[in-house]
Chains A and B, each alone.
Chain A
Amino acid sequence: MVRSSRLALNAYELVEEVKSGSISVEDYIASILERIESIDKRINAYITINHHALDEARIMDKMVKSSSSNSNGYRSTLLGVPLAVKDNISTEGIRTTCSSRMLEDYVPVYDATVVKRLKGAGAIVIGKTNMDEFGMGSTTEFSAFGVTHNPWDEERVAGGSSGGSAASLASCMASIALGSDTGGSVRCPASFCSIYGLKPTYGLLSRYGLISYANSLECIGLMARSAVDLALMLNAVVGSDMQNDHTSIDSSIDIKSINSTSLKGMRFAIVREIIESDAIDEPVRDSMLDAIASVEQLDAVVEEVSLPSLRYALASYYTIAMAEASSNLARYDGIRYGYTLQPDGVAWNEFYSTIRSNFGSEVKRRIILGTYVLSSGYYGRYYMKAQKARAIIRDEIMHVLRSYNAIITPTMPVLPPRIGERISDPLRLYTIDICTVIANLAGIPALSIPYSMHNGLPIGIQFMAKHLDEALLLRIAYALEYARGSRVKRCVL
């Protein structure tokens, strides 16, 4: 067993220790599993644990030993690193539920491309993490497996929809995690749990094996406790994939290029409509102003810009997301997989409607609304208009990013809400996504950086950059991580 303080190691530090022989992968993974056993009853980050994790760890240890005896050092960049995977990303042989009764016993027969690539780099899947059902939500309260509690204050939500992944990192039950981000689902819980959450450029990472919710918006996202860990993860998963024709980009980050403590020469934009909005809580606004001062101290220039169409972003985003959801979720018919009934003697429509009544409340709401905005007579008024609004918003953002390296906003306008505080008012819940949906509408990369604490509650700051400028976001993260030092904690032990 390893000392519990070691469970807070960054992935890159753990890999060094494993390669030098000072930590065995088996001991580390066993300690992680023991921690899950002792605290996850309270946090509820995991839905399913990978019971082969220890066997995989032993194989990894053997590989380390045999490679040290010959001249080729073992090069895996994530050797032995415990990985948490959101439960809408397929894992071969490990149940993948999307936090839905509809898939409560579904076991994929293949790995998602990103999972395969992380495993190839030496990561070990610890388990599958809790989420809002099919990714629809911002608090992980819409889960058929119960709510995930925020490790910083267990009476509050961890954010969502990738709440289990964020909580697993913040409570040292994994070192790196995968999430998915359709309108902020990686960045919101990252912000609420004081870790990093990266939504990459649309198309940079393969979506093969990600269970679809809203294809034109969603990306697989990366979560970690340090900027360097994010870069290691990104380099392990990028690259084109014949299984996903939207992934056509081969690029990797030069890790040395992010290793700078100055932001000299960078120009950042802050958005007037966000700074002046009543929707931003005071502690969040204060943190945002402090972040502006911090990047200025690192020699960046910060100027105010206007995004006049921002007020239409949520309406555009939710119209499109619900339309795509209603279409994607039509596949759940209980025939080839998922929740089902005995088909004998049941009429088709009744069979289908009865099975599909097992979707949770938020999923049903979105399917019905999506059906409405796509229906004859309303398609032009809602769906088509939302797509045009999306084009206008994207053009405004790209216009700003022609003059600035990045746009700074708070990640979430509010502190983590108390469990149950917002769940009964769907529209009010949607409005907390205002700062995050814009990156999905425009397809640009966005990173939530853990920045400060207010009365023990985390506040994250978001940076958005041009398409494929992930390296710039990681450089900003690295510089701020260095400048903020021990003032920002990224996990609770």
Chain B
Amino acid sequence: MVSVEEVRHLAHLARIGMKDEELRLYAEQINEIIEYFNMLDELEIGNDVEPYRMSRGYKEMRDDIPVAFPADMLSNAKSMKGRFIKAPKMG
């Protein structure tokens, strides 16, 4: 059972601001969904079952050298100051 306080903590971990009424609604819905996920407990999984992994067939890798990005790559940043992007204070 996931409590409203736990949802508040998860929302903090994910840095998503939520109002109390949202937290209550999500707690209710999340419990129902987690309950559904719990069916995975019934699945008998042998010790030899490896988790799914994507096979990665690299044909070739480019050399690890820096490449200049196009100047317009930062055209979507809204708080520029000279050649810097303004961000909030840490801490």
Residues of A in contact with B (beta carbons under 8 Å apart):
105-107, 109-110, 202, 216, 240, 242, 245-246, 248, 309, 311-312, 314-316, 318-319, 326, 330, 335-338, 340, 342-344, 346-354, 356-357, 359, 364-365, 367-369, 371-373, 375, 381-382, 384-392, 394, 426-427, 430, 441, 443
Contact = CB atoms under 8 A, between A and B. Distances in A.
B30 A347 contact: no
Interface in B27-42: 29-30, 32-34, 36-37, 39-41
Given A385-B40, A389-B40, A335 B34 contact: no
A387 B51 contact: yes
Nearest to A378: B34
B91 A348 contact: yes
B14 A367 contact: yes
Contacts of A441: 52
B74 to A, nearest CB: 7
Given A347-B89, A348-B89, A388-B45, A365 B30 contact: yes
Contacts of A384: 51
A372 B30 contact: yes
Contacts of A389: 40, 43, 45
A323 to B, nearest CB: 11
Nearest to B32: A427
Contacts of A326: 14
Nearest to B6: A372
Given A387-B52, A392-B45, A394-B52, A367 B16 contact: yes
Contacts of B83: none
A369 B33 contact: yes
16 contacts: A109-B70, A109-B75, A202-B54, A245-B61, A316-B40, A319-B40, A343-B87, A348-B88, A352-B88, A368-B7, A368-B30, A369-B30, A375-B10, A381-B41, A391-B52, A394-B52
A335 B77 CA distance: 7
Contacts of B65: none
A316 B77 CA distance: 37
Contacts, number: 155
A315 B79 contact: no
A371 B52 contact: no
The 3 closest A-B pairs by CB, nearest first: A387-B51, A337-B76, A357-B17
Contact of B59 (A248, A343, A375, A385): A248
Contact of B26 (A245, A359, A368): A368
B90 interface: yes
B26 A365 contact: yes
A336 B29 contact: no
A326 B30 CA distance: 15
B41 to A, nearest CB: 8
A394 B52 CA distance: 9
Contacts of B57: 248
A106 B61 CA distance: 30
Given A365-B30, A368-B30, A427-B36, A388 B52 contact: yes
B16 A353 contact: yes
B63 to A, nearest CB: 12
A315 B76 contact: no
Nearest to A356: B16
